Amino acid sequence: MTSSTSLKPLAMILPGLALAILIIGYPIYDLGYASLHEVSRFGQLRDFNGFNNFRDVFEDPLFYGSLIRTLIWTFAVVGGTLALSLPIAMMLNEEFYGRGLARVIIMLPWSISLTMTAVVWRWALNGRAGLFNATLMDLGILKEPIEWLGEANQAFTVEILIGILVSIPFTTTIFLGGLSALPQDTYEAAAVDGATRWKQFRHITLPLMKPFINIAVVLNVIYVFNSLPIIWVMTEGGPANGTDILVTYLYKLAFRFGQLGKASAISLIMFGVLLIFTIIYVLLVMRGEAGAEAEE
């Protein structure tokens, strides 16, 4: 009996697991192998060279710049997305006229690929031919067209904002799922007790939403950290590498400069950074949850 119950679930996860190990596991192995070898311009493995590729990475000032910008990019996009998505989800969870339409609109950015979104925004933000400046000028907000992507900090800010915009639908969906699962009677009881809306939010909504916020944080961090299209299409990491994050730098190293060994090393470092983040986060969350259970 025990053996059959433990075999059955294993048989159920096995086919999927096999595919994942093949498609995702093998390339990781391949990458690890390549990172310890000299790799020719065209990806042919040459001699084993120990940690030379890693040393190259750590001696490269552009790597550190990209690393710092990656952290800013991830933190800003995920933070901004969470801060906006929770109130949006709470509004969309309530009844109001046109809610269906509002939901459709808020979800829309999800239906375009990031590549296409970035292409359209690049065109719209074009200093003189773009409609963004033209609209702001028509409205009297701007007098002169602004070159939004001309200077690194400004371009990076714009890219972060667009990053937030495209992350909202996914995050809002997760939150909507969470909100609709909240027990209504708790709120009714709280309302009878005279709790203000803020108090209800602080003491009922937020704690109950915690698991959903957690999953939103983890998944968003992973997606945003690895996201290439927005920055690549809009500025290619420029001007003067001022908007380069690790993935764009990796892409350039691998496919423009042909430094595949060094690129493999960066891939693994990125993987390591995410792994550490996830472990820390999972530990913190679990400890938090264990604590909460203990309190109850």
Partner 1 sequence: MLKKSILFWLILSPLVVVILFPFGVMFVSAFRPREELFTYPPTWTFSEFRWANFAEMWVKTNFGQALLNSLYVSVLSTLLAMILSIPAAYALSRYRFPGKRAYRTFLLMTQMMSPIVLVLGLFRMMVALGLVNTLNSLVLTYAAFNMAFTIWMLQSYFSTIPRDLEEAAWIDGAGHLTSLLKVFLPLAVPAMAVTAIFGFINSWNEFVLALTMIRSSDGFTLPVQIYSQVAGRYQIEWHHVMAATMLATLPVAIVFSWLQRFLIRGMALGAVK
Partner 2 sequence: MFHRKVATFAASALALGLLAGSAFAATTVNFTVAEYSSKTGPFYKEVAADFEKANPDIKINIEVVPWDSLLQRLTTDIAGGTPPDISIIGTRWLLDFASQGVAEPIDSYLTPEFKGAFIDTFMKPGIIKGKTMGLPVAASARAMVINTDLYEKAGVKPPKTWEELYQASQKIAKLPDTFGFGLQGKEIETDAYFYYALWTYGGDILRADGKSGLDSPEALAAVSLYKKMIDEGLTQPSPTNYSREDVFNLFKQGKVGTIFTFPMLIPQIKAEAPNLHYAVLPFPVEKTEATYGVTDTLMLFSSSKVKKAAWKFIEFTYQDKYRKQFDLGEGFLPVTKNIAALDYFKTDKDIAGFAAGLPYAKFAPVIANWEEIADTTVRALQQIYLGQVSPADGLKAAAKKINEIRGL
Which residues in 258-277 contact partner 1 (CB under 8 A)? 260, 263-264, 267, 270-271, 274-275
Shorter beta-carbon distance to partner 2: residue 79 or 127: 127
Interface size with partner 1, residues (CB under 8 A): 95
- In the list 180, 185, 192, 240, the residue contacting partner 1 (rule: CB under 8 A) is 180
Query: Under rule CB under 8 A, which residues in 121-140 are in contact with partner 2?
Result: 126-129
- Considering CB distances under 5 to 8 angstroms, the limit depending on partner class, which of partner 2, partner 1, none binds residue 278? partner 1
Q: Quote the CA–CA distance of 289 and 16 in Å, as a whole number.
A: 30
Distance of CA 92 to the CA centre of its chain: 23
Partner residues linked to 45 by β-bridges? 39
Q: Quote the CA–CA distance of 208 and 178 in Å, as a whole number.
A: 8
- Considering CB distances under 5 to 8 angstroms, the limit depending on partner class, which of partner 1, partner 2, none binds residue 152? partner 2
First-last CA distance in the chain: 35
Least Å distance, CB 247 to partner 1, is: 6
Query: Under rule CB under 8 A, which residues in 37-66 are in contact with partner 2?
Result: 40-44
- In the list 80, 229, 238, 258, the residue contacting partner 1 (rule: CB under 8 A) is 229
* Stretch touching partner 2 by CB under 8 A, among 84-92, 100-108, 167-175, 251-259: 251-259
- 278 makes contact with partner 1 (CB under 8 A): yes
- 150 makes contact with partner 2 (CB under 8 A): yes
Query: Under rule CB under 8 A, which residues in 98-117 are in contact with partner 1?
Result: 98, 100, 102-117
- 260 makes contact with partner 2 (CB under 8 A): yes
Q: Quote the CA–CA distance of 50 and 177 in Å, as a whole number.
A: 48
Q: Which residues bind partner 2 (CB under 8 A)?
A: 40-44, 126-129, 147-152, 155, 235-236, 238-241, 252, 254-260
